[in-house]
Structure 1
Amino acid sequence: MNWKSEIAAAAERIKGHVQVTPVIETRGFGLDFPLEMKLEHMQHTGSFKARGAFNTLLSCDVPSAGVVAASGGNHGAAAAFAARALGLPAKIFVPEMAGPSKIALIEGIGADLTVVPGEYANALQQARAHEAATGAMQIHAYDAPATVAGQGTCFAEWEAQGLQADTVLIAVGGGGLIAGALAWLQGARKVVAVEPETSCALNAALRAGAPVDVQVSGIAANALGARRIGEICFGLAQGITSVLVPDEAIATAQRALWQERRLLVEPAGATALAALMCGAYRPEPGEKVAVLICGGNIAPDPFAG
């Protein structure tokens, strides 16, 4: 697949449907070097996921049964938002671990929502059953070419905004976002995968030499808690740097983003920064570093009600 052309086409396709999110240059966070940050938590529904959802729906004929998606929360909200914007029915399945804040977000968009006991894999199983029974079109959260191409538009956009970094740190769940980065950047910049120690599907796959099932838990599990890395991501991620961070480091980075820059983000959104703050990734002298802030759906929502 020519990923560059697919992502360029996706960028044209979704133009006007998604936000161009800002980039800042900053110092602080206990670091002795400057950072670039792309604030993708300011995207529609609070995460980068709207890009893949809109690209999927705009690149094919959607059946009359509408769309179905399984999600830890952010993807479900994005799929529901994109479907509503395009006048399509949407059925969303989320696990209980999505939490009340993300569940309320999806309900507020107006999708038909089912909350499933357990974790993301359980929600995906029910979404696939709904797809088989109704003919609805599945919008996969991360392991589909249209999803990956949509997420790749984030990095095409960032480069057009003047990305200077040698290295970009990206939080990883199922792998759609980092797959989009790898598909677009194609070695032009170093990409570092950052995962929680307790939800590390990509790191486990790279160590095993193939995607494997992992147990998922921890403060970022409702966004980064994929049980198995996507096949597309695994294929693109060979040879990349993969680091793990503890929950305590994620919480510290989340708090620092608010205290130092008044950026209110969910744990997943702080995970890439956590790798720098706790030393899981140490740049070389002179290495220019950037982090993607991927999600802002904090729980509990401080303004709910």
Structure 2
Amino acid sequence: MTITRSDVRQAAARIAPFVRRTPVVVLAGAPLGLPHDVVVKLEQLQHSGSFKARGAFNTLLSADVPATGVIAASGGNHGAAVAYAAQRLGHRATIFVPAAAPAAKLERIRRYGADVVAVGRDYAEAHRASVEEETRTGALRVHAYDQPEVVAGQGTVAHELSEQAPDLDTVLIAVGGGGLIAGCASWYTDSLRVVGVEPERAPTLHAARAAGHPVDVEVGGRAADALGARRLGSIAAEVADRYVDDGVLVPDDAIREAQRLLWEELRVLAEPGGATALAALLSGAHVAAAGDRVGVVVCGANLDPASWSVLPETGV
């Protein structure tokens, strides 16, 4: 399924009244041990706490939503985004989540008025249950990452960033199911270098490239609640083959360090998935070419600060 620049541009116009234009800041390289600064897109400031609101709004605004409302499966962030968009637009929402989904994310989903159904061990099991309910009720499905309207909506992150930082050479983007990187790469096409960053314990893009097609992977680790899809989406696989230049893996320790540095240097709270792209630079998984201007998308912040073990002030 091809997502075009026109699809992304139309999505940007469609969702503009409902989403935030999130800011861009420059993070000095020296405190990170890097020879270059980093342009950081603060997408964790988006409504519902992640970039996912963009795809949710684009999907709901592109369809006739039935009286039975909308339905989604999510590890947390997508569910919160769909619930938020549905509330803003006056629709019912039912969100299926894994039984072990973080409490902070479930609280946010419920706060937006959605019904929450906890089922299964992971996103894949919650997704299967949501499809059964969708078939029974006729509700509108909003897939977490493998739906054209969702992907085009996520691509508006890059549409916006290309206006805010038009001279970037490389953009680092976290990968779970691949909706964000598919949308962003569909916008950038060959105009710059797009690098996918995955946790070592959730390597959907890495495994798909090794096999030549999406395959199931075992999922675990620090960022699994946000980047814990078992398999790369089919749209992301197609887009990655054409426009994603590289894919790198990062360990949990580097993700934790990225979270700490975002807090120390920018006072930015980022969940593990949200900090994963920056971890590629800290770990050396991606080394920028001399003179490259590098951008990083911080894509989510749905966590409970009181339980965040890398906040130095907490002493935990």
Match of 2:278 in 1: 273
Which residue in 1 is equivalent to 2:230? 227
Residue of structure 2 in register with 1:136 after alignment: 139
* Matches of 1:59 and 1:39, distance apart in 2: 26
CA separation in 2, counterparts of 1:141 and 1:131?
A: 14
Contact 2:27 2:265 in 1 (8 A): no
**Per-residue CA distance 1:109-153 (angstroms, 9 max, x = gap):** 110111113000011011101100000010001001000000011
Matched, 1:167 2:170: yes
State how far apart, in whole Å, the 2-side matches of 1:132 and 1:267 are: 34
Cα distance per residue 1:187-227 (max 9 Å; x no partner)? 10100000000001111001110100001000100000000
Q: CA deviation at 1:302?
A: 6.1
Counterpart for residue 236 of structure 1: 239
How far apart are the structure 2 equivalents of 1:273 and 1:266? 12
| Structure 1 unaligned blocks of 5 or more | none
- Runs of 4+ in structure 1 over 6 Å off: none
Q: Which aligned pairs between 1:1-305 and structure 2 lie closer than 5 A?
A: 1=2, 3-27=4-28, 28-238=31-241, 240-299=245-304
Of residues 92-101 and 166-175 in structure 1, the stretch that sits farther from structure 2 once superposed is 92-101
**Aligned to 2:185, what secondary structure does the other structure show?**
helix
Which sections of structure 2, spanning at least 5 residues, go unmatched? 309-316
In 1, Cα distance between equivalents of 2:162 and 2:141: 30
Please report how far the alpha carbon of residue 16 of structure 1 lies from its aligned counterpart in structure 2 after TM superposition.
Answer: 1.1
2:73–2:95 contact (8 Å) kept in structure 1: yes
Q: Is the CA contact 1:101–1:301 (under 8 Å) kept in the aligned structure 2?
A: no
Judge conservation of contact 2:69–2:91 (CA < 8 Å) in 1: yes
1:117–1:246 Cα change, 3 Å? same
The CA RMSD over aligned residues, in Å, is 1.3
One-letter amino acid of the structure 2 residue matched with residue 177 of structure 1: L
Quick one: distance in 1 between partners of 2:226 and 2:285?
20
Asked whether the 8 Å contact 1:176–1:233 carries over to 2, the reply is yes
CA distance in 1, matches of 2:201, 2:100: 15
For 2:98, the aligned partner's letter is P
Aligned partners of 1:43, 1:56: CA distance in 2, in Å?
Answer: 17
Separation in structure 2 between the aligned mates of residue 240 and residue 164 of structure 1, nearest angstrom: 18
**Greater Cα offset, 187-196 or 21-30:** 21-30
Instruction: Give the Å deviation of 1:300.
Output: 5.3
CA contact (8 A) 1:101 1:300 kept: no
SS at match of 2:232: coil
Change in Cα spacing, 1:102 to 1:166, as seen in structure 2 (3 Å) is: same
Tell me the CA shift for residue 240 of structure 1: 2.4
Tell me the CA shift for residue 259 of structure 1. 1.4
Aligned to 2:176, the other structure's residue is in SS state coil
Separation (CA, whole Å) in 2 of partners of 1:161 and 1:240: 22
Q: Distance in 1 between matches of 2:207 and 2:21?
A: 33
Aligned 8 A contact 1:29 1:260 in 2? no
Query: SS in structure 2 opposite 1:187?
Result: coil
Deviation at 1:160, TM superposition (A): 1.5
Q: CA deviation at 1:175?
A: 0.2
* Corresponding residue SS for 1:97: coil
Aligned residues with identical type, % of pairs: 53
Cα deviation for residue 97 of structure 1 reads 3.0
Q: CA deviation at 1:163?
A: 3.2
Q: How many angstroms apart in 1 are the aligned matches of 2:168 and 2:214?
A: 30
TM-score of the aligned structures, taking structure 1 as reference length: 0.97
CA distance 1:2–1:94, shift in 2 (3 Å): closer
For residue 287 of structure 2, give the secondary structure of its aligned residue in structure 1: coil
